[in-house]
Structure 1
């Protein structure tokens, strides 16, 4: 990764940044002076994101000290994603960090029925989540290969190895981990890092609603972390001169944060749930493509 890229010069794309983890990552990168292209749909399926939320994220990034640029983008539409990265090239000429966070979470995904009784719209989590992360990475990689440096982060989850919401969700998260491992093999000769990252329980808007409806929705041993924490960890990884040693790995955000001494917004460091929820698969030893 380009050691000459300073925090002030950073250019990042954070997908799915209208709210939640994506918004938190964008704010954290803005706080270190980065130019952050934030993507999302002003109105998402089910009306989950209010109108203007994406622009509000961009304005908050700017207020934090960076430069926030809102780009309306439906990540199920490849043409819109291509237009996004074309704009990044025209306006910034470089790209240092891509955080793949956009996803589709239809309400049917959270229903208690077994997968064979659920509507097939649950597969949206594979179209906008797994497939869209691949598309964004394929369009971001040429920037990073050309400048011989960059970081691609797939925001995954413990659901990669632990049952959560059924097989469509699990397959999507496991796919993100394997995708990062395989991308890393091909990116390594170009000094570009690719990882998959597992946040813990994150205090997003969805989390807040769930707790308000059911104060006992989550086990008491799960302590939520802020959405910004993931962004702080991503930035610390980018700044690590030895980051290439982690390329291809699936990393637990709390453990990576401890490695770098990253504190959460309210201080302290979130716990790892490795023992409770599972550990990443061991990466393969083969590190070169045919």
Structure 2
């Protein structure tokens, strides 16, 4: 068995499927030990395919070490137990990817917010608050070792209307988490960034694209794989100039060009800055 204390140790939340799974796989392929969290333990128990155990096994097959941990990120006690386990087993934490997010089935349906279920606000619990809680637990471990990276998975919806106000507030909120946490973490050599992913090629989006092929035909061929984001996270962590990027919102497609990263089959995903806007400026003032 690989000595956990000798490998880069990462926690990727919400990694049963989708973006989290792809990020976890990419980090595993780079040799990391990855704690894979999520609620799905048995295939078929969720509407979409994927489990934390399947992700962990696939990480092992790629040369990393996958450790599945069942965790509901809406339950603070379960989150505390997760990070206690990481501390006891690995003794360190190098990367935290805050990806767990509540996605309501009606999120992408047309219509104003008051005509959609009030449960849409669940994304402000698992998606926004959950990222704060996980980072709260991760920060002391990273500070103790003098280096670390906290990542929030975000999107262009932080700065344009996308899927309604609950989704937009969650994305804008985690972008601000990255900025403000970076202020607190900077003296300790720990970085925090938010990554704007483009359209992702996941099981969820593929179902939508199959139902509405004309609507998504223009960008489906250049949609990003979830692993693409994971390769960027790995490149960021290995970047000697990481602290220069701390507190920033980075567009994955643009960061990929900087690091020389291409997606599967040689695809270079485009940035949607011109059509959806870029990260808004943040004032450098600090009021304590």
TM-score, length basis structure 1: 0.93
Give how far 1:114 is off. Answer: 1.1
Q: State yes or no: 1:198 paired with 2:196.
A: yes
CA deviation after TM superposition for structure 1 residue 97, in Å: 0.2
Measured after TM superposition, the shift of residue 225 of structure 1 is 1.2
Moved more, 134-143 or 103-112: 103-112
Alpha-carbon distance in structure 1 between the residues aligned to 2:48 and 2:73: 15
SS of the equivalent of 2:282 reads coil
Count of aligned residue pairs for this structure pair: 281
1:88-114 CA-partner distances (Å, limit 9, x unpaired): 001000000000000001123233231
Unpaired runs of 5+ in structure 1? 1-7
**Aligned structure 1 segments of 4 or more residues deviating by more than 4 angstroms:** none
Specify the alignment match of 1:4 in structure 2. Answer: none
* C-alpha distance after superposition, 1:184-206 (max 9, x if no partner): 00000000000010111110111
Structure 2 gap segments, 5+ residues each: 1-5
Task: Name 1:231's counterpart in structure 2.
Answer: 230
Compute the displacement of 1:48 (Å).
2.8
Residues 219/160 of structure 1: CA separation in 2 closer, same or farther (3 Å cut) = farther
TM-fit CA distance, 1:62: 0.6
142, 150, 153: which one pairs with 1:152? 150
Mapping for residues 65-84 of structure 1, pairs under 5 Å: 65-84=63-82
Contact 1:14 1:39 in 2 (8 A): yes
1:58-95 residue CA offsets vs partner (Å, 9 max, x unmatched): 00011011000000000000000000000000100000
Over 3 Å counting, the alpha-carbon distance change for 1:209 and 1:108 in structure 2 is closer
Aligned to 1:266: 265
Distance 1:278 1:11 in 2: 34
Partner of 2:249: 250
Structure 2-normalised TM-score?
0.93
Question: Retained in 2: the 8 A contact 1:16–1:102?
Answer: yes
